[in-house]
Amino acid sequence: MYRRFALKKIANNALLIGAAGLFVAGCSPRAPKFQGVDVTGADYARDLPLTDQNGRPRSLKDFAGKVVVVFFGYTQCPDVCPTTLGELAEVKRSLGADGDRVQGVFVTVDPERDTPEVLKAYLANFDPSFIALRGTPEQLAAVAKDFKIYFKRVEGSTPTSYTMDHSAGSYVYDTQGRLRVYHRYGSGVQALAADVRALLGQAG
Q: What is the pLDDT of residues 25-79, one digit of tens each?
A: 444 456 789 999 999 999 999 999 999 999 999 999 999 999 999 999 999 999 9
Query: Taking the CA atoms of the chain, what radius of gyration do you get in angstroms?
Result: 23
The domain covering 37-201 belongs, at the CATH homologous superfamily level, to: Glutaredoxin (3.40.30.10)
Distant-in-sequence, close-in-space partners of 200: CB < 8 Å, separation ≥ 6: 67, 95, 98, 101, 102, 175
**Domain residue limits, the chain:** 1-30, 37-201
User: Confidence band (pLDDT; 50, 70, 90) for 14?
Assistant: very low
12: number of Cβ within 10 Å:
10
pLDDT of residue 30: 66
* Spatial separation of the C-alpha atoms in residues 150 and 121, rounded to whole Å: 25
* Spatial separation of the C-alpha atoms in residues 104 and 133, rounded to whole Å: 11
* In the predicted structure, residue 160 carries a pLDDT above the cut 50: yes
Give pLDDT tens digits for 168-194: 999 999 999 999 999 999 999 999 999
**Using CB atoms within 10 A of its CB, is residue 38 exposed (0-12), middle (13-18) or buried (19+)?**
middle
Give pLDDT tens digits for 75-130: 999 999 999 999 999 999 999 999 999 999 999 999 999 999 999 999 999 999 99
**Known binding-site residue numbers:** 77, 81, 166
Phi, psi of 170 (to 5 degrees): -115, 140
* In the predicted structure, residue 7 carries a pLDDT above the cut 80: no
pTM, to two decimals = 0.84
**Known binding-site residue numbers for Cu cation:** 77, 81, 166
**Using CB atoms within 10 A of its CB, is residue 120 exposed (0-12), middle (13-18) or buried (19+)?**
middle
